[in-house]
Structure 1
Amino acid sequence: MAVTFSGAKLTLPPADVDNDGQPEQGVFEFRTNLTVAFQTRTGRLGSQKANQFLAFFSDFIEQQTDTEFAGTGKRQQVVLDLGAGAHVIELDFQGFTGSGHRWGDSGDGGTASDATGESLQRQMELLDRYLQVCEIDSRPGHEAYLEVGNYSESGYYAPLVIAPEEPRVEVDFTEQSSTFDGSLTFVETASLSEPYHASSRNER
């Protein structure tokens, strides 16, 4: 029986965050006031040639079958699902001063590569630092992973291989608040580390 992962966990590829000549791997846990949204961007048939082809295809099928496609609108289209678009995961979360949720490479805090349990400014700066230094893409050793719900090591599906899209963390220091709000959008990517087997997920 799969166990749903509580909260969300972002694991970034190793990078020399503290300039000591050795790479550190940042792990960030989001468990406070977390909202998760899944979205599928289906994409559009924007090519004029593609639209012309589909129009020709529609006419051909109608002539061969002596039937019309459902609908009478002139702008209705035949749609082919060829895997275009993107799988998007959006996280809205909150952090707070002294949080014990892992925020860096060790979970101990007090270093240039880990801000677990530290101030809002340190947590915000460290997440920003990792995102600026890490090279996140599909190359082996450069993948970032997101665990949320059943997309986790203990869930029904494998952790998501992702790339961040315009991450944002905001702290209002004028209010002397003890919390900060963050928003992260991730796009699922392909990994080139190993071949993808469609059956692997069904076997979990």
Structure 2
Amino acid sequence: MKKIWFLLLNLIFIFNISAEQFDEGNQYITLSKRTTIEPQVLEFFSFFCSHCYDFERIYHINDTIQNNLPIGIKLIKYHVDFLGSDLGHTLTHAWAVAIALGVEDKVIAPIFDGIQKDKNIFDSISLKNIFIKATGISSKYYDLAWNSFVVRSLILQQQKAALQFDLHGVPAFFINGKYMINNSRLDTSTMHNFINDYVNIINFLIKKN
């Protein structure tokens, strides 16, 4: 029943992208320095962030955003280190492995649940076990990816991006490296309105590029 409801919700948003205007300094903020000239949607999140969990696992905001983006534009997701002490960095490392292997969609739900719901991820070994179970890869292949140059580069890429945007909290969405969505000023009267505002403002800012 939940899957049917979610599919219907996505259809509603596909045909409900309006020409509604959003105001600079209100629903979004223009950054003083642009970090890219390419159209993109970049989200910063943490597996320890309760709001990030709601976005991903309860309200499926991220899936709805992805399904309503213009063709050729992908929702890029970077993990941050500043929550969860040492395990926060370990999770950033694991997320880099997921990006490198192209298995983000397979691991994001199990890792979120393992951190916030089931509480069965508490160190690098338990994290590895969840990752392997979700993807079906071997322990050896996971270790090779974990220690690879590509993954080390992706860790630095995520950390550098967080510094470039002077990030202090998550979830945080940046559009075209130029605009930041002000979550607190979107319509929170209902879940539908909040998700609708997110979809609309992202597409508004992409076109504004």
TM-score, normalised to structure 1, is 0.24
> Larger radius of gyration, structure 1 or 2?
1
* Greater RCO, CA 8 A, separation 6+: 2
Larger strand proportion of the pair: 1
Could you state the TM-score of these two structures normalised by the residue count of structure 2?
0.23
